[in-house]
Amino acid sequence: MTGPCPVAPPDGRPWVYLASQSPRRRQLLQQWGVACLPLLPDADEDAEALEGALPGEAPLAYVRRVTRQKLRAAQARRQRRGWPEGIVLCADTTVADGADILGKPADAADAARMLQRLSGRRHQVFTAVAVARDRREWLAVSRSVVTFKPLTPDEIASYIATGEPFGKAGAYGIQGRAGLWARRISGSYTGIMGLPAYETAELLRRAGLRLL
């Protein structure tokens, strides 16, 4: 894709290139007063391939590595398209049950397996956010702990039927119906959603964009 760059907001609002298809990340940035210009993969890019875990890779190392790879792929994409310099932002979220990475479910059975693992237990949610401007890069990671109530098979099946688990790490979205299961949350709620507010604001500030 070598088409024209989307036009930056004419009203002077701060803006970033958002290299993410997540509507939740876009909504959060917009709530914080940041306009988003989409910097999505071309049709011939295998974006999903970046999310594969390496053998024995720890969740924290995984989320940091994948986010850096996504950022560099987005930077290369912007340059390839001939779009002007600007702040590029991307993020990645992973759910960890101990040392095991729970990614996006492949199907309903996979979603059920993940939710059964999380039932009645604590798990960690890591979200890495990365920002680039010119040739500089910044990265930060938010770690949160979520405790779910014990889930019945009917609750899991009903939740899967809503379609919410698909496309989400750990097969759930805290901002949706699964939030009703969270007995306790320690950390960043927005981080669990997919974009930690504090870390994002700090990285954008370092890149020259202040939200307040």
All domains of the chain in start order, with CATH: 15-206 (3.90.950.10)
- For 144-159, write each residue's pLDDT tens digit: 999 999 999 999 999 9
Beta pairing partners, 133 = 136
What is the identity of the amino acid at 189?
Answer: Y
Question: Catalytic annotation on 107?
Answer: no
pLDDT at site 1: 43
Under the banding of pLDDT at 50, 70 and 90, the label for residue 5 is low
Continuous segment of H or E residues that includes residue 141: strand 136-148
In the structure encoding, which two tokens stand for residue 136, read together?
């500089």
Q: What's the confidence (pLDDT) of residue 181?
A: 98
Average pLDDT, the chain: 93
Specify whether the CB–CB gap between 40 and 21 falls below 8 A: yes
Q: pTM for this one?
A: 0.92
pLDDT tens digits along 45-73: 876 777 888 999 999 999 999 999 999 99
Check residue 8 and give its pLDDT: 67
Q: CA Rg, the chain, in Å? A: 18
Model confidence at 7: pLDDT above 70: no
Distance CA 151, CA 121 (A): 10
Task: Round to whole Å and give the CA distance between 116 and 138.
Answer: 36
- Residue of 92, 107, 110, 154 marked active site: 92
